Copies of this chain bind each other. A is one copy, B any other.
Amino acid sequence: MSVGVKIILNEGLFLREPQDSKLGRRIIKYSIHLIDAYGFEWFTFKKLAAEIGSTEASVYRYFENKHFLLLYLVNWYWEWVRYLIDIQLINVVDPKLKLKIVIKSLVTASKDNPGVPYVDESILHKIVISEGWKAYHTKSVDEDNTKGFFKAYKELASTVSKILLEVNPGFRYPFALASHLFEMSNDQIFFSRHLPRLTELSEVNNVEEALEEMLNYFMDRLLK
């Protein structure tokens, strides 16, 4: 169904589009694996180059530095979520059902999809959860924002906020709630994994299922 998908990203994020070459796709694939396995601080272009049998200089021809690579990956993820939500929402008219689908998509976006062989979405999702903030909590956030590096996330928030208003036109904070739906979704998974006393999701067998239920519970009450 989604075979051959290519996520189009802001050109300012890269020097050469990595999705268009063999080396580029290896850079994407193995940076995801290394960042997940050892963390973003540990990760360097030198180590990545060693891993894929290339050189530091070659990686630098694709990305200015590792911050841009992280921005690229995080953007890729949110564009992917947006793509999933868009195709799932086709022909759906009931606002409440739309919201349920958005929540389901958010949660299932973390499942690997074979359509893009060089991106393991489930690992990328782990990176977005544990390193995602580092992409926008920097001194360059305002500059990055001007360049449109957060467009995917912002457009998704806009889409969802409209659905929230359809469910309850009187709700006062649709944007805040939309952005918080995303943050909550990721934070709660992080907490359940690492700081279990901070969430009820920890005591559960199927975290994804429980998260979906929790998000629906919160939305129901907030929009009632």
Q: Give chain A's interface residues, CB within 8 Å of chain B.
A: 38-39, 41-42, 130-131, 133-134, 136-139, 141-142, 145, 150, 153-154, 157-158, 172-180, 183-184, 187-188, 190-191, 194-195, 197-201, 214, 217-218, 221-222, 224
Contact = CB atoms under 8 A, between A and B. Distances in A.
A130 to B, nearest CB: 5
A138 B180 contact: no
B194 A187 contact: no
Contacts of A178: 198
Nearest to A218: B222
A130 B134 CA distance: 9
A136 to B, nearest CB: 7
B221 A199 contact: no
A130 B139 CA distance: 9
A191 B179 contact: yes
Contacts of A174: 200
Contacts of A137: 130-131, 133-134, 190
